[in-house]
Amino acid sequence: MTTTLHAARTTTAAALLAGMAAAPGPAMALVERLDDSASPSAQVRAQEDNTPITAPGPATSPIVRIDFGRVHYRLATARYVGRQARIYYVLPMGIPGLRSPAGLQVSWRTNGLFSSGSGRPGDRVPVWTGQVRDAWMTEALDLTWQVDSREVRLSRGMPLGFEAYFEIETLP
Amino acid sequence: MSELLRAAVAVALLAGMAPRADAVFTYAPTSSAAYGITLQVGSAVAIDEVVFNATGTNAGLATGTAIAGSQPITIRVSPARPARLLVENRPVTLTATVPVGLTCTTAPTCSATVIPFNQISWVSTNATNPAEGDIQSGTFVGGSTQTLASFDGATATVLLVNGDTRFMSNTLNFRYANTTVYPAGSYSGTVRFTATML
């Protein structure tokens, strides 16, 4: 009995691997990072400080807001056309110069295709679900950071930055 | 594809190890530039003179009709600080060191007469808000160090580029009150402007 069960498991595992090898197969849920290398800008710098000049004051908030304006993404989705899928916006966990994920909140407002939202480093936020219809998906995010300066330890001249990206999960 | 390679690909996909795509890198730069402040009063290369001519119908009448100065003077303060992610206050102050008065420079006619500096006032253009560092319209206070403007060169936000993005600039149109009769002659006085950033 034990031997028979073991053999059955082996068969199942082999079938699983065979199915994965044909990926993205029709019956498997897969998660892959979307290629966004066709996006217009590979690097997006924060906007200049345009806040109004104010009188000197003793009270200052440790939270600083950094705006990026509109960040454009062009995602290669040709491989998934016709598939039901969910797309996530992924914020990497380890950001050089940031002591903890609590020190950064990333917010984005989208322009029609994906969902607006917010998250912290390490978060994987669902932004779209549906059937992929086109070889490319384009979206523009109005991106804002809120940084707790108490959680930032940058050496002088070192930027605070990271690569957020999109993952696609094809659904069975 | 061999069975072994196919299995390896499958395992790689299972582990989420899809080939890495180039991502969009978002960043807030910082720099190691130095703090500094620049003050410019009038022209950049000389001490500017504003002349009030109390001649002709203005001479000796002390009509109380103010006499406009010969030229406006633009005062600009440009604090510079490194781009950095650090909340801070950097108070900037602009002061004027004002002598007691304008002294006679033509001794045979006006001797040691002094015209008090409070006879000179100014109208400031674009003086929208004193809290934003604008010089407001006002009058000199003779024999004093007079604060004309103050603002925060940093504020509770972040500066992401080097330079003088938080400068202030106002153009002052001076006038002489002409309310008192003084002996004929030329009178002169120098006001020195000082900008500081702590």
- On whether residue A117 sits in a domain, the answer given is yes
Strand boundaries in A18-135, DSSP class E: 30-33, 43-45, 63-76, 84-90, 104-109, 117-119, 124-131
pLDDT of the residue at B181? 86
Q: Between B4 and B82, where is the model more confident?
A: B82
Test B10 with A42 for CB contact under 8 angstroms: no
* CA–CA dist B121, B174 (Å, integer): 6
Residue B124 burial (CB count, 10 A): 19
Chain B residue whose CA is closest to A46: B28
**Contact A44/B84, CB-based, under 8 Å?**
no
Show residues of chain A in contact with B86, CB under 8 Å: 149, 152
Q: How many domains does chain B have?
A: 1
Full residue range of the structural domain in which residue B44 is found: 29-197
Taking only the tens place, the pLDDT of each residue in A78-115 is 999 999 999 999 999 999 989 999 999 999 999 889 99
In a domain, B159, yes or no: yes
Residue A154 belongs to domain spanning = 27-46+62-170
Give bridge partners of residue A110 from the DSSP assignment. none
User: To which residue do tokens 């009709």 refer?
Assistant: B65
| ipTM value for the complex | 0.76
Domain assignment present for residue B4? The answer is no
pLDDT value, residue B20: 42
- B-chain residues within 8 Å CB-CB of A23? 9-10, 13
Shortest alpha-carbon distance between residue B136 and chain A (Å): 14
CATH number of the domain enclosing A131: 2.60.40
Q: What is the mean pLDDT of chain B?
A: 79
Task: Tell me the one-letter amino acid at A86.
Answer: R
A57 within some domain: no
Q: Does residue A80 form part of some domain?
A: yes
CB-based contact A61 B130, cutoff 8 Å: no
If one counts the domains in chain A, the total is 1
Taking CB atoms and an 8 Å cut-off, how many pairs form between chains A and B?
177
Put residue A156 in one of left, alpha, beta given phi > 0 → left and psi -120 to 50 → alpha: beta
Contacting residues of B for A56, CB less than 8 Å apart: 89, 91-92, 150-152
Q: Say if residues B96 and B135 touch (Cβ distance below 8 Å).
A: no
b/e per residue A82-113 (b: at least 16 CB within 10 A): ebebbbbbbbeeebebbeebebbbbebebeee
pLDDT at B167: 73
Omega cis (within 30) before A24: yes
Its pTM surpasses 0.95: no
- According to DSSP, residue A13 is labeled H
Each residue's pLDDT tens digit, B64-76: 788 999 999 999 9
How far off is chain B from A4, nearest CA to CA, in Å?
A: 23
